[in-house]
Structure 1
Amino acid sequence: MVEFGKRLKERQIQEWKSYYINYKLMKKKVKQYTKQIQEGTLDLQYVLKEFSRILDNQIEKIVLFLLEQQGLLASRITKLNEQHAILLEHPDISEVCKLREAYRAVGQDLLKLLFFVEMNAIGLRKILKKFDKRFGYRFTDYYVTSRANHPYSQLQQVFKHVGIGAVVGALSHNLAGLEGQGGSYLSIYDHPASPFQDPVIDSIKAAVDRLTHSTNFLHFLGQHALIIQGELPSPAEDHVGDETYNFMSLLLNLANTFLYMVNTYIIVPTADTYSTSLGAAATVCGVVIGSMAVAQVFSSVYFSAWSNKSYFRPLVFSSVVLCLGNTLYAMAYDLNSISILLIGRLFCGLGSARAVNRRYISDCVPLKIRLQASAGFVSASALGMACGPALAGFLQTDFKVFNLTFDENTLPGWIMALAWLIYLVWLWISFKEPFRQTEENQVQQEASDGVVENESIENGLAQPLLLNAEDEQKDEDGDQECDVSEEASEESQRTASSIGSAYRLLTPSVKVQLLIYFMLKYAMEILLSESSVITTYYFSWSTRNVAIFLACLGLTVLPVNVIVGSYITNMFEDRQILLASEIMVCVGIILSFHVLTAYTVPQYVSSALITFIFAEVLEGVNLSLLSRVMSSRLAQGTYNGGLLSTEAGTLARVVADGTITLAGYLGESRLLNVTLIPSLVICIFSIIATLRTYNSLY
């Protein structure tokens, strides 16, 4: 376990070490101010002003050095450009090669400068988080509000690195010019990228995108998987997963994801008619659909824990349970039992292996293709969401075989049972269990950390925001870098050992992001799960019409992500898109209400599209922000960030489906408005919470 300050120091470029943010000094200042406030010798307003002054000085030191280095790089490029102009008039192959290497050398130095900026940006975010943790989450809001939007903001220089773009463009322009025989002047921002693009330019582009959080469709889609990376960049290439990766195994994981989403939504168009055929009310469809989510709340935890030891066995278990659950769901009609129907759906929820699918990508896929794999995970989910209802729309038949009924109600169960049986055979034949570190090595690694230290970590998680004077005395030595009570808990790379310890790592901004995730999943589940009942009551839609409507909603997912990921996120800040999307979801919910006038198809469809599309936009941006503000301790392990987001979303679905069934007791005429009221309240509350933590998302 290495404290953040030490890791920051280890990764510094040594010749520039005096220009980095003095994280150790800032940390000691925070401790000093904590002690003085406890003793009553300072008030909080003075601390805010004084710490701002110190931080301003640190940022100014960074920015001035940054500007100096930019000037040096620009000067070198100018001189190389003069040589380039001479070569255009008097070509010399050997001189061209030398010039190309000289440009590449500038590129390597530019990479060093980008790495320098990124390290300082991380240090600044870290110290702001530390100050907020000690003083009640006030400083970031104050500092960002007063500094970020000022016309002479130096903070923008660090986080937006104004001016580096010009150097990148000049370097890219000239390197591309040397590659082309006739002067092909391509820059890193041309699309598609030049097949002759210099590798150093690719590295620079990746560094620039990482700093500015610039995205493309693939990157934006991959963020939906919430596979959190380490908080500190490393100049070394990551080979994690090279030995454990197997393409067929990855494909089987994605197939599992696709089939599970089909399984989830294939029953939505017919759940109400199936319930009524068994003597229950149509609104019991909420319980039928939601029972799968209820079981998933628990299955996510044990599947996540199981994937610490194996991927093959939990996938086999998942397939068997899902095959059994769908069979029970289909047989419930001939058994005339609503209980069997619900048990079948519970079994389907117990077979949810999404935690395994996500963990496989995080732990076993090499970094160089992890983004594509993450995007594949999300795409498989989106396609499954669209294919499920569409498939249900085609299953409009009615016949019997050996006293077993096959109709629009039971066929979804039979089809999915067969699909999982085929998948199980494919899994058994083709899946390759990844190589894992031996338990003996793991035990030795854990032993080296020490049992006492582990206890200190867990105890430190429960410490109050303002630590007492006795605790502070333990770290008065200026050379002592490790603060067990705080640093070990907040900044260690050790994974969370329980749901409780994971929850204690959540800052207010992370909690707000999880609330937003809950809200959007709740709104989407209300819209989807009650669609069949609502459209039948108001518009007399058939099962096929409902299936087409739901499939069309699902098909909007990928196009929306293309637009948002490729364009919108590069034009606006994530927090701006987040707030705007929340407001639009709220507008969609308001437009959905049935008030006075007759309820029409255009009103329902347009409001549903607004709600669903902006909830999809909100999900991508929300998870993007969540991956950045969430503790790196939640990047891996059983209780990881992906599990927390999955639990929040699953809980939202459970509550939403329960709301539909409870509202059904008031009658179908009131179902729409009664279920929309909680959605509206939660949405408004999430908007208020976002506004309160808006500046902490900087």
Structure 2
Amino acid sequence: MVAFGKKLKERQIKEWEGYYINYKLMKKKVKQYAQQIGAGSQERRYVLKDFSRMLDNQIEKIVLFLLEQQGTLASRIAKFGEWQEALQQQPEISQLIELREAYREVGRDLLKLLYFVELNAVGLRKILKKFDKRLGYRFTDYYVKTRANHPYSQLQQVFKHVGFGAVVGAISRNLVELQDRQGSYLSLYDQPALPLEDPVIITIKAAVDRLSHSTNFLRFMAQHALIMQEELPAPVEDQVDDEQYHFMSLLLNLANTFLYMVNTYIIVPTADDYAMSLGAAATVCGVVIGAMAVAQVFSSVYFSAWSNKSYFRPLVFSSIVLFVGNAMYAMAYDFNSIMILLLGRLFCGLGSARAVNRRYISDCVPIKIRMQASAGFVSASALGMACGPALAGLLQCNFRFFNLTFNQVTLPGWVMAGAWLIYLIWLCISFKEPSHEIHDKLSSTQPAVESSENSTLEKGLNKPLLISSKDKQQEEDEEDGEQEGDGSEEGLEDSRLPVTSIASAYRMLTPSVKVQLIIYFMLKYAMEVLLSESSVVTSYYFNWSTGKVALFLACLGLTVLPVNVVVGSYISNMFEDRQILLASEVLVCIGIVMSFHLIVPYTVAQYVCSGLVMFVSAEVLEGVNLSLLSRVMSSRLSRGTYNGGLLSTEAGTIARVIADATITLAGFLGESRLLNVTLLPSLLICISSILATLYTYNSLY
């Protein structure tokens, strides 16, 4: 186990050691506060004031050094500018090459400075989180509110990185002008046809984007995948070599994601008709649709665990189970059995391999293309969601073959069974099982007493923030005897060891993480209610055919990509994530309110507009929600079976299960009340999530 403080020290630039945040000192100070408050010898007001002063001093030290280094870089660039002016009068090839290399050297030094700021920003976030957790105060809320918005804020220098853009721009502009192929008369601001592709500038821009959370379409799409990265930046080579990366295997994982989402939503337009054809009420469609999500609650766990050992075998198992499940779903019509219908959907849910798809991208795709792969994962899901209902709308035929019925309610099952059979053959021919040497290497670095340390970890995470008596004394003794992370509370808290159960993962969730999971639950609940009851609601109010319902759902699904383009490329760079989060929640709430049947008659325009507002807002909300979730969640939840991706998947799946159950239960009150009864829980959960967001707003920094 390696403590955060030790990892922070190991990654510091040696010649700048004295200018980094003194994390170890502040950690000891937090421990002293805990002891004093526990003994009743210190007031809350003094603790807040004293620790704020200490943090202010640390931040001022960082910022003054940062400004000094920026001035040094600016001075060097100014001298190079004079050199460049002289070369324009009497250009020499050797001198131009030397000047270009000098600019690149400044770029490399700037990259070191960016890395310095990033380490300090992570350390600052970490100590704020530790203070809140250990003492039970909302100190982060107070500190950010009083420091970040002040006109003389030094905190903004660390988190917003003011001034870096000018240095990056100066280096980039001059390197552009020095490119042989473009000559010295072009400028960066003239948008040259051939963009600058200097590796130093590309690396610097990536670092600046990461620090300031600047986003583009790909980055915003990739956030939806919640493939968590290590919290501390690491100036090391990619652990996944290009030789280990297999494009066809990645493509098969994305195809599995796409087909599964098609499988999920292809039955939505016809589920009510299928239920009625078997003698059940139309609102039983909620159970039919939700049965897949019920099974997915369990399959997500065992597929996540299975992916620790293999990727190929769980994908094969997934394909076989989905083939069987869809065949059962289709044959339920001829057997006239609602039970076979539900079992078929349960089998489909048991074949959900999204945990494997996500883990494959996280573990087996090189870092340099991981963002694109993550965006591909999300895009495949979005396209599957749109294609499912659209495909259902096209399957409008009725015939019998070998005593089996093929019509609009059974064809979705037959089509998906055939698709999974083809996929299984393709998988067996083309998939390449990646090496698990990386995982074995990581596990082999753990001490031999890992099992005993795990038990200690579980015990430690159960402790309250402030305790007294014998347990408190034991904890203090352990911390007093620590040697930079060995056996300490920090070593336990920030261990690279993954958590070993859902319960231990839950105990690691801070209030900020819990609020983000509630928001994720809310948006999935609202979207599931909108989509799953669409066929019943539109049939009751508007007499829509299956084709019209399919078209409406397909159009909703097709909004995902353009919405992400707009938000990822523009809106997310104009506003903070937490601002977009709150605004999106409010818009989801407005969409829910617009959907209520309060005015007679209930019009198509009202339903379509409210559904569009709700769906689009929920899509925007999902991106920023998962982005914030990955930042506030413990780094220990970035790996292992019980990772952050699994927790979010479980939260969303449980939301879908409850939403579909709500639809079925509301059906007992009659179709005339279905809309309002199902929307009411959505509204209450949405309002609760908005209040919870306001409560933790300043901790989302």
* Stretch deviating more after TM superposition (598-607 or 498-507): 498-507
Which residue in 1 is equivalent to 2:135? 135
Which residue in 1 is equivalent to 2:186? 184
Find the aligned partners of 2:192 and 2:512 in 1 and give their Cα distance: 37
How far residue 178 of structure 1 moved from its aligned partner, in angstroms, is: 0.7
Find the aligned partners of 1:548 and 1:483 in 2 and give their Cα distance: 60
Letter in structure 1 aligned against 2:234? S
The aligned runs of 1:288-307 (5 Å cut-off) are 288-307=288-307
Letter in structure 2 aligned against 1:554? G
Q: 1:115 to 1:478 in 2, by over 3 A?
A: farther
Find the aligned partners of 2:36 and 2:244 in 1 and give their Cα distance: 52
Letter in structure 2 aligned against 1:619? E
Which residue in 2 is equivalent to 1:580? 583
Which residue in 1 is equivalent to 2:483? 480
* 1:69-122 deviations in Å (ceiling 9; x for gaps): 111111110010011111112111111111111111111110111000000000
Letter in structure 1 aligned against 2:377? F
Equivalent residue of 1:200, what SS? helix
Preserved contact between residue 457 and residue 485 of structure 1 (Cα < 8 Å): no
Q: 1:639 to 1:75 in 2, by over 3 A?
A: same
Which residue in 1 is equivalent to 2:218? 218
* 1:436-489 deviations in Å (ceiling 9; x for gaps): 129986774344454432322221111111244514542565983227452133
Preserved contact between residue 307 and residue 314 of structure 2 (Cα < 8 Å): yes
Find the aligned partners of 2:499 and 2:193 in 1 and give their Cα distance: 41
User: Do structure 1's residue 30 and structure 2's residue 30 form an aligned pair?
Assistant: yes
One of 657, 661, 674 as aligned partner of 2:660: 657
Letter in structure 1 aligned against 2:684? V
Equivalent residue of 1:453, what SS? helix
Find the aligned partners of 2:444 and 2:75 in 1 and give their Cα distance: 52
* 1:312-351 deviations in Å (ceiling 9; x for gaps): 1111111011000000100111111111100000000000
Which residue in 2 is equivalent to 1:363? 363
Find the aligned partners of 1:502 and 1:403 in 2 and give their Cα distance: 51
* 1:560-604 deviations in Å (ceiling 9; x for gaps): 000011111100000000000000000000000001321000000
How far residue 248 of structure 1 moved from its aligned partner, in angstroms, is: 0.7
Which residue in 1 is equivalent to 2:566? 563
Letter in structure 1 aligned against 2:326? N
TM-score (norm 1): 0.98
User: Do structure 1's residue 80 and structure 2's residue 83 form an aligned pair?
Assistant: no
Q: 1:105 to 1:241 in 2, by over 3 A?
A: closer
Find the aligned partners of 2:333 and 2:451 in 1 and give their Cα distance: 56
The aligned runs of 1:607-646 (5 Å cut-off) are 607-646=610-649
Letter in structure 2 aligned against 1:487? E
Which residue in 2 is equivalent to 1:271? 271
* 1:631-657 deviations in Å (ceiling 9; x for gaps): 111111111111000000000000000
Which residue in 2 is equivalent to 1:15? 15
Preserved contact between residue 479 and residue 489 of structure 2 (Cα < 8 Å): no
How far residue 172 of structure 1 moved from its aligned partner, in angstroms, is: 1.0
Find the aligned partners of 2:3 and 2:482 in 1 and give their Cα distance: 13
Find the aligned partners of 2:82 and 2:441 in 1 and give their Cα distance: 57
Which residue in 1 is equivalent to 2:200? 200
Which residue in 2 is equivalent to 1:311? 311
Which residue in 2 is equivalent to 1:175? 175
Equivalent residue of 2:405, what SS? strand
Which residue in 1 is equivalent to 2:390? 390
Find the aligned partners of 1:241 and 1:467 in 2 and give their Cα distance: 47
Which residue in 2 is equivalent to 1:332? 332
Letter in structure 2 aligned against 1:183? Y
User: Do structure 1's residue 42 and structure 2's residue 45 form an aligned pair?
Assistant: no
Letter in structure 2 aligned against 1:463? K
The aligned runs of 1:56-455 (5 Å cut-off) are 56-179=56-179, 180-186=182-188, 194-437=194-437, 444-448=444-448, 450-455=450-455
User: Do structure 1's residue 595 and structure 2's residue 598 form an aligned pair?
Assistant: yes
TM-score (norm 2): 0.97
Find the aligned partners of 1:443 and 1:575 in 2 and give their Cα distance: 36
Find the aligned partners of 2:680 and 2:586 in 1 and give their Cα distance: 16
Preserved contact between residue 535 and residue 546 of structure 2 (Cα < 8 Å): yes
Q: 1:120 to 1:467 in 2, by over 3 A?
A: farther
The aligned runs of 1:408-557 (5 Å cut-off) are 408-437=408-437, 444-448=444-448, 450-468=450-468, 469-471=472-474, 473-474=476-477, 480-482=483-485, 484=487, 486-557=489-560
Gaps of 5+ in 1: none
Letter in structure 2 aligned against 1:348? C
Gaps of 5+ in 2: none
How far residue 186 of structure 1 moved from its aligned partner, in angstroms, is: 1.9
How far residue 197 of structure 1 moved from its aligned partner, in angstroms, is: 2.4
Preserved contact between residue 258 and residue 384 of structure 2 (Cα < 8 Å): yes
Preserved contact between residue 2 and residue 486 of structure 2 (Cα < 8 Å): no
Find the aligned partners of 1:464 and 1:191 in 2 and give their Cα distance: 58
Letter in structure 2 aligned against 1:654? V
Equivalent residue of 1:474, what SS? helix
One of 669, 676, 691 as aligned partner of 1:666: 669
Equivalent residue of 1:400, what SS? strand
Find the aligned partners of 1:76 and 1:89 in 2 and give their Cα distance: 21
Q: 1:631 to 1:442 in 2, by over 3 A?
A: closer
Preserved contact between residue 307 and residue 356 of structure 1 (Cα < 8 Å): yes
* 1:248-277 deviations in Å (ceiling 9; x for gaps): 111110000000000000000000000001
Q: 1:263 to 1:16 in 2, by over 3 A?
A: same
Find the aligned partners of 2:425 and 2:252 in 1 and give their Cα distance: 11
Find the aligned partners of 2:185 and 2:480 in 1 and give their Cα distance: 61
Q: 1:439 to 1:43 in 2, by over 3 A?
A: closer
Find the aligned partners of 1:585 and 1:473 in 2 and give their Cα distance: 47
How far residue 245 of structure 1 moved from its aligned partner, in angstroms, is: 1.7
Equivalent residue of 1:405, what SS? strand
Letter in structure 2 aligned against 1:129? K
State the identity as a percent. 74
Q: 1:456 to 1:186 in 2, by over 3 A?
A: same
How far residue 420 of structure 1 moved from its aligned partner, in angstroms, is: 0.3
RMSD value, Cα: 1.6
Letter in structure 1 aligned against 2:100? R
